[in-house]
């Protein structure tokens, strides 16, 4: 693929990607626009999405490779469902593939990025580009992730 990675702008989109990158304004459930530091403001933020362009989030209470949110009976999965994946993990060349992994969460396989377990926000409900979760319950508790994010703490 001779166009892959040209000027760090052009990448080949493949139908089997586990994650992709989006670049857009973050707008929370509260209808406020946020910058990449989760303060009110404008600006494009780069973040991970699934293969359909649906936003992926992490939870600041989680630890490295440890989901601290999901209940054993998945009773809270409708609000913040885990992003379930199957091997192999595939990403565009701009994302370091060594940053992707999986963990077992009560018998289901959840994607992990830089040690952060990855989730959807239920109210985004499969809507491409929706970033409502960034303000729930307050801005920055459920951040989006990208290759510049810090690794999850131990």
Question: What are the pLDDT digits (tens) for 39-65?
Answer: 999 999 999 999 889 999 999 999 999
3 belongs to a structural domain: yes
Task: Look at residue 29 and tell me if it is in a domain.
Answer: yes
Q: Which of 60, 46, 64, 55 is nearest to 8 (CA)?
A: 46
Give the pLDDT of residue 6: 47
Whether the predicted pLDDT of 121 surpasses 90: yes
* Structural domain harbouring 138: 1-147
Whether 129 is in a domain gets the answer yes
How far lies 134's CA from each of 7, 11, 26, in Å?
A: 30, 27, 7
d(CA 10, CA 6): 5
Domain count, the chain: 1
Q: Is residue 89 part of a domain?
A: yes
3-class SS of residue 20: strand
Averaged pLDDT for residues 4-17: 58
Kindly state whether residue 152 falls inside one of the protein's structural domains: no
Q: Does residue 36 register a pLDDT over 90?
A: yes
**115 assigned to some structural domain:** yes
Residues 97 and 62: their CA atoms lie apart, in Å, by 21
Does the structure show a pLDDT above 60 at 7? Answer: no
- Rounded to an integer, the average pLDDT of 103-122 is 98
% of residues, the chain, pLDDT over 70: 90
What is the DSSP code string of 80-133? S-B-B--SSP---TTS-GGGEEEEEETTEEEEEETTEE-B--GGGTT-TT--GG
Q: Is residue 153 part of a domain?
A: no
CB 19 within 8 A of CB 91: yes
Residue 94 lies in a domain: yes
What is the spatial distance between Cα 10 and Cα 77, in angstroms, rounded to a whole number?
Answer: 35
pTM check: above 0.85:
yes
């Amino acid at each position: 693929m001779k166009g892959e990675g040209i000027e760090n702008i052009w990448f080949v989109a493949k139908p089997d990607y586990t994650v992709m990158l989006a670049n857009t304004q973050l707008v929370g459930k509260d209808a406020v626009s946020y910058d990449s530091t989760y303060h009110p403001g404008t600006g494009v933020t780069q973040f991970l999405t699934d293969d359909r362009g649906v936003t992926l989030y992490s939870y600041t209470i989680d630890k490295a490779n440890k989901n601290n949110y999901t209940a054993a009976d998945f009773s809270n999965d409708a609000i913040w469902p885990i992003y379930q994946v199957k091997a192999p993990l595939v990403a565009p060349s701009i994302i370091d593939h060594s940053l992707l992994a999986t963990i077992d969460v009560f018998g289901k396989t959840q994607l992990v990025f830089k040690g952060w377990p990855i989730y959807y926000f239920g109210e985004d409900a499969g809507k491409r580009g929706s970033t409502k979760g960034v303000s729930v319950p307050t801005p920055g508790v459920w951040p989006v992730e990208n290759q510049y994010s810090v690794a999850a703490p131990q």
